Amino acid sequence: MIDQLTIERILDAANIVDVVSEFVTLRRRGVNYVGLCPFHNEKTPSFYVSPSKGICKCFSCGKGGNVIHFLMEHEQLSYYDAAAWLADKYGISYNKREMTESERLLQNERESLFVVNQFSRDFFVNSLRNTPQGVAVGLAYFHRRGFRDDIIEKFQLGYAPDEPDALAHYALKKGYAKDNLVKTGVCYEKDDGSLRDRFRGRVIFPVHSISGKIVAFGGRVMKTDAKTAKYVNSPESSIYSKSRELYGLYFAKQAIVRKDRCFLVEGYADVISMFQSGVENVVASSGTSLTPGQIRLIHRFTNNITVLYDGDKAGIKASIRGIDMLLAEGMNVKVLLLPDGEDPDSFAQSHNAAAFQEYIETHQVDFIRFKINLLMADAADDPISRSALIKDITKSISVIQDQIVKSVYIKECSQLLKVDERLLIADVNRQQRERYNSRTEEQEQIQNKEQYEPEETPEDNGSVSANEDLPINQVTEEPSEEEKLRQEIRDLKKQDFGPIMNKERLLTQMIVRYGNRTICMIDSEDGPIAITVGRFIIQSLDNDGIDFRHPVYKIFIQLFREHSDEPGFDTVRFFISHPDRFISLTAASLMEERYQLSGLFKSGKSEDDESHLFDLTTHLMADYQMEVIRYEIKNIEKQMQDTSVIESTDGMKEIQIRYQALLKARNALAKRLGERVINL
């Protein structure tokens, strides 16, 4: 639906650093950028972005690719939708058309649910603004809470009419599938098969994904009925998991990066009121206990978090039990206790941004000190209670990964609790050992269980294998073409072709990076002919009668043969933007470098230098030829040990001739490689 020329325009216009920065906090490291990988849990950044090459890669889990691949993986988009997202962002026109009914039916479930949620959001917003009931009940409520109209519009707040099936009736009339209305949770099905609106008679708070898509809704009831739940939230679905979402993060992420701190509150209104008061780096766990998935979301933008509590001591004690997870994830945790009778919503409504910020700066304390002060009042002079308090504190300290931070906290606790520092160290070490032993026992149980149960296929993580340069697809009953290629590669490695295929990877890498670069000129009857890196490699293969063994790199060779003579052909652009996803992902993998190769410049030559490229290409080709010869020599030596071959005089003579020729070629190549010194 988007032609290849437009795809190339999109990739040329898209700044991969800007796009990735919308989801990951990146910091410059040399010519590249690095951040915490958004695709797996990590505490040390291993996700690299190269603006010059337009690619990204995690050197831990292996996921990466160009900017389209990043969006596909992160937002679970199709290739077309990811490209369209970028086209809209950078103002690039492309052909749009209405989908046919059959195409609409073929949309995958996730895309369909996003569409239903967007439709529902628009319905709720329109009901709030343009219906008498919405204005009189919903909008009036938001105004009483002190929300300005611009903030109501920004957070896309709405109202669900107090009718049993207003949304359901309108959605079905517009052609939306009944199943999708139920799956998103905006409606539920009764025993008689009819639909009812889940949020009727409530003001609506849409929950956005990190990229701004509507994944769920929260609804607050307007009636004072003890039998009716105050808040109703969307059920979990294929697009919504409450343990992996934070309310307000879409609006807060830039401020979090700018301030290098995130404020964590509990409810929707807390976020909106603080945002309106000028404290924009705020998110909410939406009433759920803090989860590892939510912590990782925050950690991608900052290491610093401040948790806001109201004056309810019982509620605080219940909440702080889960905050050890923040410490375990390497977060720097502070706590802010608001005055009695205040919550973040009411406090923000009664203070401007400057006053709020001043209160934060003067009253927030580190989590360990806060925990000691909170629990010390209960412990008083009771030795048993004090002992329990100390164990509680050492448990929190024991989960901290940074040894220096851990040491500082131990020293501080020793002074505050008036306990020998050595005793605290011993108990911290005991807590760590117990946790380690517990994890070891769990792993052993899992291993023992696996010995007696059928092996299951590991869940697809969508990564690109560094060794095989193929995207991994979810395994199905019928192996995909990519899985067949992967199996072929495994079979070749079993036949000792691994070293040869490693050399083929280097040559393919040269074709992708420098394939249309001229390395020398040769004279001909028609005048000088430019020899490019790609042409040299292919001509050398043809002269020696060698075909690549690696099935993927063989495709690259064939594509170069077919397209290299086209006007304006550029290898990097051609392969990175190739419509076949596994070709473009493989090309991105071949373009990736975690570290800069300073050796290119030690001799005073850059990678753009023609003579250097000539040396490098010819060296790699000779190295590959040497590996092929070594394999053939090894294979012939096995044949010569075969008694049936030895008994055949003609067969043995033919083998010996071939063997001598290979030894001669090997010696010549060895001499050539030994004489040529290349700064790689």
pLDDT in tens, 573-610: 888 877 777 787 788 778 765 444 444 434 445 555 66
Evaluate if residue 563 carries a pLDDT over 80: yes
Token digits of residue 492: 């070749």
Looking at this protein, which amino acid is placed at residue 175? Answer: G
Q: Which of 395, 393, 437 is nearest to 413 (CA)?
A: 393
Residue 234 CA to residue 206 CA, distance in Å, equals 10
Return the pLDDT at 543.
86
List strand residue ranges (DSSP E) for 74-201, in order.
158-160, 187-189, 195-197
Instruction: Identify the three-state secondary structure at position 263.
Output: strand
In three-state form (DSSP H/G/I as H, E/B as E, the rest C), the secondary structure along 499-558 is HHHHHHHHHHHHHHHHCCCEEEEECCCCCCEEEEHHHHHHHHHHHHCCCCCCHHHHHHHH
Question: 66-75, 231-240, 273-282, 430-439 — which is least confidently predicted?
Answer: 430-439
pLDDT tens digits for range 155-199? 999 999 999 999 999 999 999 999 999 999 999 999 888 999 999
pLDDT tens digits for range 289-323? 788 888 888 888 888 999 888 766 655 665 676 67
Give the list of residues 6+ apart from residue 406 with CB closer than 8 angstroms, or none. 397, 398, 400, 428
Instruction: Identify the three-state secondary structure at position 598.
Output: helix
DSSP string, 197-247: ETTTTEEEEEEE-TTS-EEEEEEEE-S--TTS-SEEEPPP-SS--GGG--B
1 vs 557 pLDDT, higher one:
557
Return the pLDDT at 276.
92
Count how many Cα atoms sit within 13 Å of the Cα of residue 497 in the half-sphere of its side chain.
17
Return the pLDDT at 189.
92
Q: How many CB atoms lie within 10 A of CB 214?
A: 25
Return the pLDDT at 351.
82
Q: Which residues in the chain are classed under CATH 3.90.980.10? A: 104-240
Return the pLDDT at 462.
34
Residue 553 CA to residue 426 CA, distance in Å, equals 56
What is the fold of 4-89? DNA Primase; Chain A (3.90.580)
Return the pLDDT at 463.
34
With contact defined as beta carbons under 8 Å apart, do 254 and 211 qualify? no
Residue 49 CA to residue 33 CA, distance in Å, equals 5
- 533-544 and 610-640 helices cross at what angle (nearest 10)? 20
Return the pLDDT at 443.
54
Which pTM was predicted?
A: 0.63
Token digits of residue 528: 């000088």
Return the pLDDT at 214.
94
pLDDT tens digits for range 380-402? 667 777 788 888 888 888 888 77
Of 3.40.50.300, 3.30.2000.10, 3.10.20.740, 3.90.980.10, the CATH number of 104-240 is 3.90.980.10
CATH number for the region 251-432 comes to 3.40.1360.10
pLDDT, mean over the chain = 80
Return the pLDDT at 460.
35
Return the pLDDT at 598.
42
Q: Please report which confidence band the pLDDT of residue 226 belongs to, taking 50, 70 and 90 as the band edges.
A: low
What's phi and psi for 601, nearest 5 deg? -110, 0
Return the pLDDT at 674.
64
Point out which residues pair with 305 in neighbouring strands.
Answer: 262, 333
Q: What is the mean pLDDT of residues 351-369?
A: 84
Q: Which of 414, 351, 301 is nearest to 25 (CA)?
A: 301
For the chain, give the number of residues: 680
Q: Please report which confidence band the pLDDT of residue 562 belongs to, taking 50, 70 and 90 as the band edges.
A: confident
pLDDT tens digits for range 442-480? 555 544 443 333 333 333 333 333 344 444 333 334 555
Percent of the chain with pLDDT over 70: 82
78 vs 230 pLDDT, higher one:
230
Token digits of residue 609: 């230098």
Q: Please report which confidence band the pLDDT of residue 406 belongs to, taking 50, 70 and 90 as the band edges.
A: confident
pLDDT tens digits for range 631-660? 888 877 777 776 665 565 566 777 777 778
Residue 12 CA to residue 54 CA, distance in Å, equals 9
pLDDT tens digits for range 81-98? 888 888 888 888 877 655
Q: What is the mean pLDDT of residues 600-622?
A: 68
Q: Please report which confidence band the pLDDT of residue 482 belongs to, taking 50, 70 and 90 as the band edges.
A: low
114 vs 435 pLDDT, higher one:
114
* CA dihedral (376, 380, 384, 385) positive or negative: negative
Q: Which residues in the chain are classed under CATH 3.40.1360.10? A: 251-432
- 610-640 and 498-514 helices cross at what angle (nearest 10)? 160
* CA dihedral (336, 337, 338, 342) positive or negative: positive
pLDDT tens digits for range 34-73? 999 888 877 788 898 888 778 888 888 878 888 888 888 8
Tell me which range, 453-457, 620-624, 675-679, is most confidently predicted by mean pLDDT: 620-624
Evaluate if residue 208 carries a pLDDT over 90: yes
With contact defined as beta carbons under 8 Å apart, do 208 and 214 qualify? yes
Q: Which of 81, 31, 80, 90 is nearest to 55 (CA)?
A: 31
Q: Please report which confidence band the pLDDT of residue 441 belongs to, taking 50, 70 and 90 as the band edges.
A: low
Q: What is the mean pLDDT of residues 529-546?
A: 87
